[in-house]
Structure 1
C-alpha cells in the first residue's frame, strides 16, 4: 500500500466531498451516469434510476431487468421517509406440492424453477412517477448507449464474470449474449450487449408496460413455457410494486430506517437494539471481544429472521415484538461474554449478489437504492433474445410444511436486499448499504458502528476490515490479526476465511454543519463516489 500523507494510513482513498450532488455506486460508469442526470437538472430519484440501469448493463452478474429492487426515499417536498418494495412474487402456478412431486426438498439454485416475477422495471417506473422529474427515455439513455456502443469491463467485474463461465455456457441464450467465443470478457475489453440495449429502448419508448404487457413480456413467457418453467404472461401482466411504511429503530439518538418484510431489514434493527445495551467505549474495535459480541448478536437476530420473516400478505410477521427494546434486552442477556451460544433456532444460510447505490442531490433529496438478481447471473437463464437474465429469488422460499415462508402462488419470498437510511435531528444523515445477501445486516451494523461508535469517516467506515458469520464459523478478512484469530478459537469459535464474501459498501453522509456531502465507496468493488 502507498504511504498516505494524511488521515488513516491504512485507508485506501480519501472520502469524496462535494456541495451540489453525489452518486456512490459499484461501477464508475454508473456513478457518472447519475451525475450526468443531476447536472442536466434531474433530481436524486432520476439519477438513481439512470445509475441502476447502467449497472444492469455493466455489472450483469449482480443486477438486471429480470431482478428485484427496493428503495428508501426522503423527498424534501414532503419531509418523510418512504419505502418501495419492488420485489416479485412466485408464479401463480408454483406451489410446494409441485416441487415435492418433482423430487425436490428445496428449490433449485438455478434454472427455470428458481424464478420469481421480475420486479425491477415496475419499481423503477414507480420511483420516477412518484418522485422523479424525467422520463424513462431520458434516464435510460446512458444505459442504452453502453449496451449499443459497448463499455470496457472493469477488474472485479471481469473476475466475477470469469467465475460464472460454466453457468453461462449451460444456457444457449446466456452463452451467445454474455460470452465472447465461450469465455467471459477480460478486464479492459469492450463488451457490447445489443439485445439488452433493444430491451431498454423498448422500455424507454413504451414505459413499464412494454416490459410487463408487450412484446418483451410475451417473449419471456413463451420462452419460459417452452422450456418447462412456471412463470407466465399473467404473472408479468399482473405484477405491481408496493409502497410500504418503513420500519425504524433509534440507536443512541440516530433513527435507522429499513424496508419491512418480506425483506430482512428488521434483522439489522434487531441487532442494533441488542447492541445498544453494550458500552463500546470499553470494547476495542475488531478485537476478539468485539467480533464475539457482534457474532452472538447476529446469531440471535438471524434466528428470529429465519423463523418469522415472510410475505406479510400471507403470514403474520411480529414486527413490533422483533423491534421491541425490552425484547432486545432480554435477548442480549443470553450472550455469554466468554463462550459462543451452543445453538439458536434452526435457520438457513442465504447467498447473494447485488448492487447498491446512493444518490443525494442539491436539494438534499436522498435515495438509498438496491437492485439484484440474487446469486451471480441469477437463474443463469436469459429469456429469448431479450438479453434479460431472470432472477432466482424463489430460492428465498422454503418447502418446509407450515413454515411462514413456505412457497405459495403469488407470494413474495424472504428477501435479502436491504437499503439503509439514517436520520439525525429528523433530517437525512447517512444513506448507505452493504450488498451481499446474508452479509447485508451484518455488514450494515459493522459499518454503522464504525462511524457512530469508533468515529470513522464515511470512507474508513466502509473499508475497515470486516468479518462474517457463516455456517462454517467466523470468516475474517486478512487484516484482522492472528492474535484475534487465536483468541476467538480459544473462546470456542470456528475461524475461517473467504474471498469476495464480505459485501460491497457505498455510502453518502450529509454534513449539515458545512452543508456538504461526503461519499465513500468500497475497495472490494470497482466503484466510486462522484460529486460535483
Structure 2
C-alpha cells in the first residue's frame, strides 16, 4: 500500500501522529481539544417521502387492481395464502379462514385462535350485507364477587385467567364455512398447519411487538398464573425472534391439524377442550369444557346509516360498530369538504364528534342478551343533529356527556373478495396485544401453541352498569369490521385495527374517500388523528379537560398550531393510529367490475389482486 493511501485508511488521530516531525514526541504535540458538537438528528426525523410521478405525494404505493379476486392483510404470506386459496377454487370465506388461521401464527401479537372474531360480508346470492358476532362469553364458574376480588380501583386486571372468555374464532370459522365454503374444511387449514411447522422469517413490526409483549408479561408475572408455556412457544431460546429470523410454532400446527380433521368439535368438545379444561383446573382458572361446548356464533343483521349517499354498515353491541355510524352522522351535519383536507376545522369537528359518540358508547354498549341498547335512536339523524349543535366551531368543548336516549387493543383486520362478487370484511383479536399471558398445554409436555384472549378485562364491575360482569356474558368489544355500499351494490370491505382507534379510523377512511375524493391507498396513507380520554365502558372516568388529541407527523404544522389555539391538548405520534386494509369493488362503464386493494403502510402487510 502506498503511503498516501495508507494514511487515508487510518483513524484521524493515528494519521496525525504519523505526520509529526521525527524529533518530536507525542507528548510535545498536544492536539487541540475537540469541539463539542450536538448529536446529529436521526435521518428519519428530517428526511421526507420520495416523489411519485402521479397521485398524492404522501402515498407509499398504488392501489392494486384485479378482476378475479383480491386480499389485503397485515402479513405478506397471509395475503399469499388467501390468493392461493382463491386460485384453488375457494370462496372468499375459504380464503378468509385460511388467512385468519395463518395470521394467528404469523402475527401472534394481534390475534389467534384464543380470541374472538367478527365479520360482515356481501352475499351476492342474497344481494345484501350479512354479519356474524363470534365473541365468546365469560366462564360460568367465575362469579361477580370473585371477579371483583381481582379488580383494582374498580377495574379488572389486564392479564391472567380472570380475563379469559371462551374463544369464539374457531366456531366462527366453522359456522362461516358451513354457509359459504367451497373447498373441503381440511383443505383450507392443512396448508396453514404446514406453514406453522416449517417456520417463516419475522417481519419488522411484528418482531418489535413480539419482544415488547413478552417483556410486558414478565413485568406483570405476579398476576399471571403460569409462565413456562408462553416462554416455550414464543421465546424458546430465551428471547423472541428478531427481524428476519425464523419463527416456527409446531405446537400450533398440531392443534390446527386436530381442528382440520375433527372440525369445530375438536376444539369445543374434543381433545383440545379437554386440554383447556385440565390446564385451567391446574392453574386455578375457571374455563371448562362445558363453557366451550355451549358456545355458538351468532349471525346478526348489521346496523346501517347513510353518509352523503354511501350506506355504511356496522355490527351492533356488544361491539362499538354503532360508534362509527354516530361519528359519521354527526360529521354529516357539517361541510367538511369546504373546511379543507387535513385542516384544523375538519379535524376539530371530527374529533368532537368522536368525543360525543364515545360518551354514548360508555353509557350504553354491552351484551344485548343482558341489556337493551337504544340502537335505532342513537343511530338516527335526528339525534345526530341534536348532538352536532353542541360543537363550537372555534373552541373545543370543555366537557361532554352522553345523550338522553330512551330506556347501553391489538387486533388483526383483513379484506378478501372472490370472482363471484363475495366481499369479506373480517376482524379478529386477542385484545391487548397477544392476550392474557396464558398458553395451555395437554398435560403431557406439549402446548397447544396459542394464547388466550384477555377480553374479559373490558367488563365493568359497577352495580347497574349495562356492561357489568356476569357469568356467561359477553364483554364490550372494541373490534369491528367495516362495510360500505353505493347504489345498492357493494363498495368497500374495509377496517382499521386498534382498540378505540377503530371507529375513529373507519370514519376517517370514509371521510377521506367521500368528502375528499381519495382512492383506497391514499385514504389509508394520509396522516391520521386519534383522541384519547373519553369515558370507557369499563366504568373508567373521562380524562380531565378535553383529553388528548394525538396527530401523526404528516399533519401540517399550521393545522397543529390552529388546533392548539382552539384549546386542544395535542399529543405526539405514539404508533397507535391503527392498521388498515381495504378491498374496493369498482363498477366500470362496460359493466365489468374490478377490485382495488389497499394495505397499511403502518404494518408489515401487503395487498394483492389478480
TM-score tier after normalising by the smaller chain length: over 0.9
2:163 corresponds to 1:114: yes
Q: Aligned equivalents of 1:281 and 1:65: distance in 2? A: 42
Offset, 1:217: 0.8
Offset, 1:135: 2.7
Kindly tell me: are residues 489 and 356 of structure 1, through their superposed partners in 2, closer, same or farther at Cα, counting changes over 3 Å?
same
Offset, 1:526: 0.5
- Counterpart of 1:410 (choices 467, 472, 490) is 472
Greater Cα shift, 177-186 or 428-437: 177-186
Which residue does the alignment assign to 2:36? none
- Counterpart of 1:344 (choices 397, 400, 409) is 400
Which residue does the alignment assign to 1:129? 178
Q: State which structure, 1 or 2, has the greater radius of gyration over its C-alpha atoms.
A: 2
Which residue does the alignment assign to 1:512? 587
Greater Cα shift, 488-497 or 95-104: 95-104
SS at structure 2 position matched to 1:121 = helix
Map Cα deviations across residues 221-254 of structure 1 (whole Å, 9 max, x no partner). 1111211112222111111110011111011111
SS at structure 1 position matched to 2:122 = strand
Which residue does the alignment assign to 1:421? 483
SS at structure 1 position matched to 2:449 = coil
Map Cα deviations across residues 123-179 of structure 1 (whole Å, 9 max, x no partner). 010110011112321111232122110011111111111211224554210101111
Q: Aligned equivalents of 2:64 and 2:561: distance in 1? A: 37
Which residue does the alignment assign to 1:215? 271
For these two proteins, the number of residue pairs brought into alignment is: 528
2:193 corresponds to 1:144: yes
User: TM-score when scaled to structure 1?
Assistant: 0.97
Gapped runs of 5+ residues in structure 2? Answer: 1-48, 222-226, 404-408, 442-446, 534-546
Offset, 1:516: 1.1
Which residue does the alignment assign to 2:42? none
Q: Aligned equivalents of 1:146 and 1:444: distance in 2? A: 32
Which residue does the alignment assign to 2:416? 359
- Counterpart of 2:508 (choices 419, 422, 446) is 446
- Counterpart of 2:564 (choices 489, 492, 496) is 489
User: TM-score when scaled to structure 2?
Assistant: 0.85
Q: Aligned equivalents of 1:480 and 1:67: distance in 2? A: 35
User: Where does 1:80-99 land on structure 2 (aligned, <5 Å)?
Assistant: 80-99=128-147
Greater Cα shift, 92-101 or 358-367: 92-101
Counterpart contact for 1:287–1:484, Cα < 8 Å: yes
SS at structure 2 position matched to 1:161 = helix
2:584 corresponds to 1:528: no
Q: Aligned equivalents of 2:570 and 2:402: distance in 1? A: 21
User: Where does 1:225-264 land on structure 2 (aligned, <5 Å)?
Assistant: 225-264=281-320
Q: Aligned equivalents of 1:311 and 1:363: distance in 2? A: 34
Which residue does the alignment assign to 2:260? 204
Q: Aligned equivalents of 1:490 and 1:231: distance in 2? A: 52
2:205 corresponds to 1:156: yes
Which residue does the alignment assign to 1:29? 77
Counterpart contact for 2:171–2:296, Cα < 8 Å: yes
Counterpart contact for 1:33–1:51, Cα < 8 Å: yes
Counterpart contact for 2:360–2:402, Cα < 8 Å: no
Q: Aligned equivalents of 2:600 and 2:145: distance in 1? A: 43
Q: Aligned equivalents of 2:283 and 2:308: distance in 1? A: 53
Which residue does the alignment assign to 2:109? 61
User: Where does 1:497-508 land on structure 2 (aligned, <5 Å)?
Assistant: 497-508=572-583
Counterpart contact for 1:504–1:524, Cα < 8 Å: yes
User: Where does 1:386-397 land on structure 2 (aligned, <5 Å)?
Assistant: 386-397=448-459
SS at structure 1 position matched to 2:126 = coil
SS at structure 2 position matched to 1:418 = coil
2:365 corresponds to 1:312: no
Offset, 1:346: 7.9
Q: Aligned equivalents of 1:344 and 1:226: distance in 2? A: 47
Counterpart contact for 1:168–1:174, Cα < 8 Å: no
SS at structure 1 position matched to 2:440 = coil
SS at structure 1 position matched to 2:348 = helix
Q: Aligned equivalents of 2:131 and 2:351: distance in 1? A: 29
Q: Aligned equivalents of 1:120 and 1:445: distance in 2? A: 26
Q: Aligned equivalents of 2:401 and 2:54: distance in 1? A: 47
Q: Aligned equivalents of 1:321 and 1:32: distance in 2? A: 43
Offset, 1:183: 1.2
Counterpart contact for 1:429–1:509, Cα < 8 Å: yes
Which residue does the alignment assign to 1:39? 87
Map Cα deviations across residues 263-317 of structure 1 (whole Å, 9 max, x no partner). 1000000111111111123211121111111111000000001100111100011
